[in-house]
Chains A and B, each alone.
Chain A
């Protein structure tokens, strides 16, 4: 059975498009955000989710609907929810095994739950379950990631309400810095080559340069047909808005427009670290964030 590929990053780091692109390789299967790591069993994950004010694991529901019934409709989503409730005892590894059986034993599952538990427990659990899995640390400039995150919060009433009720400012800078420290700490525990770092902006700007390298790294085909398939993330059954009772599972903007815009990607520019933070004009990035950003090639 092939080992899965986990994409690790804070949210709003191009993970939806990267997961879908790699997932479209004929020897891979890209998944929506499953969010099944972070607790011992599926039932416990659901409890955590409920406490956070969310009602269901949309990405997992869409996956199960697609794989069990061949389509994602409101009815098949309800069927998937029933399956999840009935299998609350399953561990995340058991759920992944179930998915793998349905997908086929010759395809690498590509998963991108960017949450993974803010304390890193999800990452730890993933390694424990899959000690030989491949990991991608996906990077995005802390400024543009923070701007994107703020926009998502501003556009989402639930998230805004949560922030107001808890009285906490959204720490957009901390989410980038702390998550990448966690991921980097993971990388120091892995054998050479098991985790690679992808500079999201570079990847999207020169996608045809980097896709063959990812294939080589994963030990899968890198011929023209395979690369061409990867260049069509919109062909994934998950690269669209889902049915009314399970619309999400990935970045909403990506779901609404999953086709790669190569011209726009080529024109992407990195912002600067120097100016005050867009979401906190009275503050600059901290020395820690700046140092970490330099380590990763951001200026």
Chain B
């Protein structure tokens, strides 16, 4: 990564588009987020999306030849990109890069045909009462994303879009084609946000943030409008599994990584994150986490490892990718951790952070693209083997 990306740079999403690898950086400590592009062939970095233009709750993107001046600017409106997807809508001549932006300045969905110039296709101003578009996914012929506020706040006035819903469009460049695909919070007011999306066995799956009762996983079949609940109560870990940080389909299983960003009680690390999966028969298994009794039966960690892969500093397992040889690699934070598995059950640590430097959040994104596995960790970018 370019050295002027800043020591606190936190990558929120990565994706390949065209011949480049795109990194979305979150705003940190008053600095706005931005988008970088790497040309793997030359190793050159390009600051694609200038933060100043992202602060208006959407706005236009401009190509900037250098990033140094851009990073020096700090504005009051701090927003940043959180999710990306490559999708060719009904009205597109070719696949486009879509970027979901969030922040107090408002929420927006940006689109680029060339990976350099971006236009806002959907914008929700700050006074709409909610803060973000959180996740993006491609589901058949639709681009889907989620709306919702991640933190409880003042009662939200209804804006142009309802809160905590799944939205979808076959032609996302046209704002009037966006449809609401789910009930707010799937009918549960304690679901504060839909934090993750994945397409699994043809169904669109969504993971929620529910700090009172624990995360939920919902699924909707292609062509249908009804959602069914695949999992709730945080897998019987309730408020200690409040949020889905990763949701990925891999070899017939739906993988779930949890996150908890709650204040501590006393001095105890309350809730290192867990890794779970819903298998092809619909039964969920605990891969790394806390043994417990559940309505579905006793759950013991298949990996024999507790929450956080035995590291109490890992309160978010939010990144996963598959390698070409079938290995899975999972990353967590804020204390950086990286684990590898050949069979999905037994995991070996590739890296575990012994320090207390959680400035940039550990491993925040992993993607298999352009023949490699890219790992964003603590403001740096690494590669590992060959990506699937």
Binding site for B on A (CB under 8 A): 181, 184-185, 188, 191-193, 196-198, 202-203, 206, 209-210, 213-214, 216-217, 288, 291-292, 294-297, 299
- Chain B: CB-nearest residue to A217: B298
Q: Is B212 a contact partner of A294 (Cβ separation < 8 A)?
A: yes
- Given known A-B contacts A192-B301, A294-B212, A295-B238, A217 and B291 have beta carbons under 8 A apart: yes
Interface string of B260-277 (1 = CB under 8 A from A): 001101101111000000
Q: Is A295 a contact partner of B291 (Cβ separation < 8 A)?
A: no
- Chain B: CB-nearest residue to A203: B293
With a cutoff of 8 Å between Cβ atoms, the chain B residues found around residue A191 in the complex are 306
Q: Is A294 a contact partner of B238 (Cβ separation < 8 A)?
A: yes
Assembly CA distance A291 to B301 (angstroms): 25
Interface residues of B in 26-77 (CB under 8 A from A): none
Contact sample, A vs B, 15 pairs, CB 8 Å cutoff? A181-B265, A188-B312, A192-B300, A192-B305, A192-B306, A197-B293, A198-B293, A203-B293, A213-B297, A217-B293, A217-B298, A291-B262, A294-B238, A297-B236, A297-B239
The smallest beta-carbon distance between A33 and chain B, in angstroms, is: 24
Q: What's the tally of chain B residues with a CB closer than 8 Å to chain A?
A: 32
- Chain A: CB-nearest residue to B301: A192
The smallest beta-carbon distance between B388 and chain A, in angstroms, is: 29
With a cutoff of 8 Å between Cβ atoms, the chain A residues found around residue B240 in the complex are 295-296
- Chain B: CB-nearest residue to A191: B306
Q: Is B269 a contact partner of A295 (Cβ separation < 8 A)?
A: no
With a cutoff of 8 Å between Cβ atoms, the chain B residues found around residue A197 in the complex are 290, 292-293
Q: Is A213 a contact partner of B238 (Cβ separation < 8 A)?
A: no
Q: Is B268 a contact partner of A193 (Cβ separation < 8 A)?
A: no
Interface residues of B in 316-368 (CB under 8 A from A): none
Assembly CA distance A216 to B290 (angstroms): 16
With a cutoff of 8 Å between Cβ atoms, the chain B residues found around residue A193 in the complex are 291, 300-301
The smallest beta-carbon distance between B244 and chain A, in angstroms, is: 17
Q: Is A210 a contact partner of B293 (Cβ separation < 8 A)?
A: yes
With a cutoff of 8 Å between Cβ atoms, the chain B residues found around residue A209 in the complex are 295
With a cutoff of 8 Å between Cβ atoms, the chain B residues found around residue A294 in the complex are 211-213, 238-239
B126 at the interface (CB under 8 A from A): no
Assembly CA distance A185 to B270 (angstroms): 9
With a cutoff of 8 Å between Cβ atoms, the chain A residues found around residue B239 in the complex are 291, 294-297
Assembly CA distance A161 to B19 (angstroms): 80
- Chain B: CB-nearest residue to A216: B298
Q: Is A213 a contact partner of B298 (Cβ separation < 8 A)?
A: yes
Q: Is A184 a contact partner of B268 (Cβ separation < 8 A)?
A: yes
* Contacts A185-B266, A203-B293, A294-B211 known; 6 new A-B pairs at CB < 8 A: A192-B301, A193-B301, A206-B295, A213-B297, A295-B270, A297-B213
With a cutoff of 8 Å between Cβ atoms, the chain A residues found around residue B268 in the complex are 181, 184-185, 188
Assembly CA distance A216 to B301 (angstroms): 14
Assembly CA distance A197 to B235 (angstroms): 13
Assembly CA distance A206 to B240 (angstroms): 22
B304 at the interface (CB under 8 A from A): yes
Q: Is B293 a contact partner of A213 (Cβ separation < 8 A)?
A: yes
Assembly CA distance A202 to B236 (angstroms): 11
Assembly CA distance A202 to B233 (angstroms): 13
B168 at the interface (CB under 8 A from A): no
With a cutoff of 8 Å between Cβ atoms, the chain B residues found around residue A297 in the complex are 213-214, 233, 236, 238-239
Assembly CA distance A217 to B290 (angstroms): 13
The 5 closest A-B pairs by CB, nearest first: A297-B238, A294-B239, A192-B306, A213-B298, A193-B291
Q: Is B213 a contact partner of A299 (Cβ separation < 8 A)?
A: yes
Contact pick for B265, options A203, A210, A292, A299, CB 8 Å = A292
The smallest beta-carbon distance between B69 and chain A, in angstroms, is: 44
With a cutoff of 8 Å between Cβ atoms, the chain A residues found around residue B265 in the complex are 181, 288, 291-292
- Chain A: CB-nearest residue to B272: A188
Contact pick for A196, options B211, B214, B271, B291, CB 8 Å = B291
Assembly CA distance A297 to B239 (angstroms): 6
Assembly CA distance A198 to B294 (angstroms): 9
Assembly CA distance A256 to B282 (angstroms): 45
- Chain A: CB-nearest residue to B269: A188
- Given known A-B contacts A188-B268, A188-B312, A291-B262, A196 and B292 have beta carbons under 8 A apart: yes
With a cutoff of 8 Å between Cβ atoms, the chain B residues found around residue A288 in the complex are 265
The smallest beta-carbon distance between A67 and chain B, in angstroms, is: 31
With a cutoff of 8 Å between Cβ atoms, the chain A residues found around residue B295 in the complex are 202, 206, 209
The smallest beta-carbon distance between B216 and chain A, in angstroms, is: 14
- Chain B: CB-nearest residue to A209: B295
The smallest beta-carbon distance between B5 and chain A, in angstroms, is: 35
With a cutoff of 8 Å between Cβ atoms, the chain A residues found around residue B310 in the complex are 192
Q: Is B290 a contact partner of A296 (Cβ separation < 8 A)?
A: no
- Chain B: CB-nearest residue to A180: B265
